[in-house]
Structure 1
Amino acid sequence: MSLYEEWIPYGDRLRYSGFAARPANVTSSLPAVIVLQEIWGVDRHIQDVTRRIAQAGYAAFAPDLFAHAGSRPEELDFDRVDAAKSFLNTIPQSSWRNPEERGAALALLPGDDGRKIGETLERLFNLGGSYDAFVEQIVAAAAFLRDTYAPSRGQGVASVGFCLGGGLSAALAAKDDQLRGAVIFYGSLPPTIPVEPIRAKLLGFYGEQDKRITEAVPEFAQKLAAAGKSFEYHVYPEAPHAFFNDSRPAYHVRSARDAFVRTLSFLQSVLE
């Protein structure tokens, strides 16, 4: 399928931006799907997922949570983040967030590479202080797609998020009572998310090996059920964290394939 792709500004004073993709030969307004990034940003993988969802017949949009007024901080430049991901592939995952072990491996890199990658990882691993700003940005994205963006104006909006974006997908459901559905791929669920305001249906996908995140899901499901909310979730045997990311060593093809089929079926049901 031929797609039309563009980076577009949105929000108050056009201070935000995102990557948009939609079927090129469709002139009618389309339902919209917000694709919410992992901590790596709107990288090649997230752009590819956005295209896949667009190919299913949606106006897909990935807000760049790291960009403001058209620019990114130097340490979160696309190339810098790619270099940081490549570095992490060379060390045990248990060392990723261990400053001493990570620092020892960074010290072995040539030239200025260790300093630059270290700065990028420090920024990526400490995004908690930006959480409220991220939520504000994605709420603005939903309103933009529903009310302003011509290819989706007047249509329903749903969200699909991964890791950082998975938690944000749930947070968006709690903030936007017009959201039709929210898909959560292995996202940490902040305990402060209120369940009562949620009107959207929720769908979650988790890896059995991703214990820190997956073991918290039943409690969240019980809270939603007690409040009369809709939440279906699946835990994939042998799957690790980030099992859907086919650009990472964690990719688990059987789980990813099943989750994508279920995601498309869910989107069809909530956006029809």
Structure 2
Amino acid sequence: MSLDTEWIRYGDSGEYSGYVARLEGVREPMPAVIVLQEIWGVDSHIQDLTRRFAQAGYTAFAPDLFARNGERPEPLRAERVQEAKEFLNAIPQANWRDLEKRQAALALLPANKMKLVSDSLDYLFNLSGMMPNFVQQAVMTASWLRETYEYSLGQGVASVGFCMGGGLSGILAGKDSSLKGAVIFYGSGPSAELIPEIQCPMLGFYGELDKRITDEVPALGEALFQAGKQFDYHIYVNAPHAFFNDTRPSFQVDAARDAYARTLTFLQHVLTSSVR
């Protein structure tokens, strides 16, 4: 079945925007999946994932966390972020956050391009200060999908996030008591203070080689278990960070296939009443 896809504005004054996909021939409201972006924004990969979840029978929506009133800051415009991603894909991932090594690689670029890529990287590696705004938008998006958007009105909402968006998916589980489920792909877990507020089941996927994130997962799982929360997680052997992103060198097809199948099963359980 074909899909209807479009960019839309939403929010009290249309200040937010996002990419939506839904089955073309279905007019009744469907359960919704919020697809939460990596640091690259709602790029071709996130749009593709949004369409994949729509093809599975959901109203899928990817909020553009970088845009306000239809505009992104200049360093976070899609073409600028794409150039920054291409630069990072060409250097070892271990050098990404090593300022000295990153600057040495940047120095090999043409002078005009070096400045543009450097400015975009400065934004992308310092998004933590924007997280309160991202959380506010995610909470508002879930409410809007449940209460306003005609193609998901009155239906359950779950979130699936990747990297930065994975961490945001975990936070949303604690901030939105009506969320039906949260999936975290290689993102940081919710804080200890937020764990008591989580009301929905959670599912996590991690790469064994992604030490910065994955080494914290067993303790997170224990904390959630002790708090009586439902959290199932999978650590894929020899998989790196971003193993699910098929536009990057880190893509690992076996882990991605398994994680996608488990995600669809999870969404079926938390968003529909036909399988329990």
Say whether 1:104 aligns with 2:101: no
Q: Cα deviations across residues 162-205 of structure 1 (Å, max 9, x unaligned)? A: 00000000000000000000000000125355111111100000
What residue is the counterpart of 1:26 in the other structure? Answer: 26
Say whether 1:116 aligns with 2:135: no
Say whether 1:181 aligns with 2:181: yes
Deviating above 6 A after TM superposition, structure 1's stretches of 4 or more consecutive aligned residues are: none
Residues 17 and 192 of structure 1: CA distance in aligned 2, closer, same or farther (over 3 Å): farther
Q: Cα deviations across residues 193-232 of structure 1 (Å, max 9, x unaligned)? A: 5111111100000001111101101111111111111000
What residue is the counterpart of 2:15 in the other structure? Answer: 15
What residue is the counterpart of 1:74 in the other structure? Answer: 74
What residue is the counterpart of 2:128 in the other structure? Answer: 128
Say whether 1:137 aligns with 2:137: yes
C-alpha contact 1:174 1:193 (8 A) present in aligned 2: no
In structure 1, give the amino acid aligned to 2:86.
Answer: S
In structure 2, give the amino acid aligned to 1:158.
Answer: A
In structure 2, give the amino acid aligned to 1:147.
Answer: E
Identity of aligned residues (%): 60
- CA distance, structure 2, for counterparts of residue 99 and residue 214 of structure 1: 23
Could you list the runs of 5+ residues in structure 1 that have no partner in the other structure?
Answer: none
C-alpha contact 1:35 1:60 (8 A) present in aligned 2: yes
- CA distance, structure 2, for counterparts of residue 57 and residue 217 of structure 1: 31
- CA distance, structure 2, for counterparts of residue 16 and residue 235 of structure 1: 34
- CA distance, structure 2, for counterparts of residue 133 and residue 26 of structure 1: 33
In structure 2, give the amino acid aligned to 1:164.
Answer: M
What residue is the counterpart of 1:46 in the other structure? Answer: 46
How many aligned positions are there?
272
- CA distance, structure 1, for counterparts of residue 222 and residue 94 of structure 2: 30
What residue is the counterpart of 1:261 in the other structure? Answer: 261
What residue is the counterpart of 2:83 in the other structure? Answer: 83
- Equivalent position SS for 1:112: helix
- CA distance, structure 1, for counterparts of residue 6 and residue 157 of structure 2: 19
- CA distance, structure 2, for counterparts of residue 21 and residue 187 of structure 1: 24
C-alpha contact 1:5 1:21 (8 A) present in aligned 2: yes
Say whether 1:202 aligns with 2:202: yes
Q: TM-score, normalised by structure 2?
A: 0.97
What residue is the counterpart of 1:236 in the other structure? Answer: 236
C-alpha contact 2:170 2:190 (8 A) present in aligned 1: no
What residue is the counterpart of 1:93 in the other structure? Answer: 93
Q: Note the aligned Cα RMSD (angstroms).
A: 0.9
- CA distance, structure 2, for counterparts of residue 196 and residue 245 of structure 1: 31
- Equivalent position SS for 2:13: helix
Q: TM-score, normalised by structure 1?
A: 0.98
- Equivalent position SS for 1:25: coil
Could you list the runs of 5+ residues in structure 2 that have no partner in the other structure?
Answer: none
In structure 2, give the amino acid aligned to 1:139.
Answer: V
Q: Cα deviations across residues 144-164 of structure 1 (Å, max 9, x unaligned)? A: 100000000000000000000
- Equivalent position SS for 1:14: coil
In structure 1, give the amino acid aligned to 2:181.
Answer: G
